[in-house]
Amino acid sequence: MLAASITMSGAASTHIIMVGLTTLEAATGTGPGAAGTASTGGSVTDLSLFDTITHSGPIGVASFALLILFSAVSWAIIVHKFFFLRRAAVETERFLVAFWDAKRLDQMYQQSESYRRSPLAQLFKSGYIELARLKKRSGDEEGLAGDIENVERALRRSQNSETTSLESLTSFLATVGSTSPFIGLFGTVWGIMKAFHDIGRMGSANLATVAPGISEALIATAAGLAAAIPAVIAYNFFLARIRILQSEMESFSSDFLNIVKRHFFK
């Protein structure tokens, strides 16, 4: 969906720019058919990137500022989530090794404090705490026969909480990936409109008059794509890693329930 929106907006930007350039070529006589008759006496204005952006006016500057803000926040989230999910995956792998090597659940509960970033460790702690509470309330193991649903609910609540934590901030990447191309498209349309406005205001249709508006339009499109593409790539990458951890949580919940049923719910 995000990649499709970028493709659609990119195609729209290209179409608008081509229409604008075609119209400007007709107005200025600078098209391919008029190459031999175009005047070469006009001067070319050398505009820097900053001058081109500031020339776009308040609306154009606001669009660029919003895209820069989106890009900066996106990169901060990308760096944070990369290390967050990487550590979660590493600690999950270590926790599983320790869990299957442990002889007692209470022993594993003490070790689980060392795996704070592992969602599986948090699942285990929730299930074990609920199991210990049931054992304390019943006073004997035979009285636990009807309370396995409580452990299942504790595991399910913990899994939902860990999934929410893993998915946090990724929605912003999806928002940037889907909206930035359209913000760039807005800047493109505004640049084309301003180019025609400058032609009417100056009464001149030479290249020096229309070039700033066209440059602004192209830069707006590039800025929108520059903000969207990394966000889309990172979103898909993080989503794949999160799905792997979700699958491991579901498998671990089933394994933990089987162990509990076999040893405590007879």
Q: Are 56 and 64 in contact (CB under 8 A)?
A: yes
Please list, in sequence order, all residues whose beta carbon lies within 8 angstroms of the beta carbon of residue 147, skipping any fewer than 6 positions away. Answer: 134, 138, 265
The boundaries of the domain holding residue 106 are 2-6+49-264
Total structural domains within the chain = 1
pLDDT of residue 11: 53
Q: Phi then psi for 205, rounded to 5 degrees?
A: -120, 35
- Structure confidence at residue 181 (pLDDT): 92
Asked if residue 163 belongs to a domain, the reply is yes
Count other C-beta atoms under 10 Å from residue 58's C-beta.
Answer: 7
Judge whether 198 and 209 are in contact, CB under 8 Å. yes
What are the residues whose beta carbons fall under 8 Å from the beta carbon of 54, sequence distance 6 or more? 61
Task: Give the up-direction half-sphere exposure of residue 66: CA atoms within 13 A in the CB hemisphere.
Answer: 18
Q: Is 199 helix (H, G, I), strand (E, B) or coil?
A: helix
Cα–Cα distance, 19 to 243 (Å, whole number): 44
pLDDT at 56: 61
Hunting for tokens 């090794």 — which residue is that? 97
Structural domain includes residue 24: no
Burial of 218-238, coded b for 16+ CB within 10 Å and e otherwise, reads bbbbebbbbbbbbbbebbeeb
Instruction: Give SS3 for 38.
Output: coil
Q: What is the pLDDT of residue 46?
A: 56
The pLDDT assigned to 145 comes to 53
Q: Residue 31 domain-assigned?
A: no
Establish if 141 belongs to a structural domain. yes
Residue 27, in any domain of the structure: no
Alpha carbon of 105 to those of 131, 134, 158: distances in Å?
10, 15, 18
The percent of the chain in helix, strand and coil, each rounded to the nearest 5, is 85, 0, 15
Q: What is the pLDDT along the chain (266 residues), one digit of tens a residue?
A: 555 555 555 555 555 445 444 544 444 444 444 333 333 334 445 556 666 666 666 777 888 889 999 999 999 999 999 999 999 999 999 999 999 998 888 889 988 888 989 999 999 999 999 888 888 776 654 555 557 888 899 999 999 999 999 999 999 999 999 999 999 888 888 778 877 777 777 776 677 667 666 777 788 888 899 999 999 999 999 999 999 999 999 999 999 999 888 877 66
* Distances 98 to 90, 115, 163, 209, 248 between C-alpha atoms, Å: 13, 10, 22, 71, 15
**Would you say residue 231 lies in a domain?**
yes
Number of H helices, E strands in the chain: 8, 0
For residues 29 and 204, the answer to whether their CB atoms sit within 8 Å is: no
- Strand, helix or coil at 180? helix
CA distance 16 to 27: 17
Assess if residue 42 is contained within a domain. no
Classify residue 41: in a domain, yes or no. Answer: no
- Nearest C-alpha neighbor of 193 from the set 80, 97, 33, 56: 56
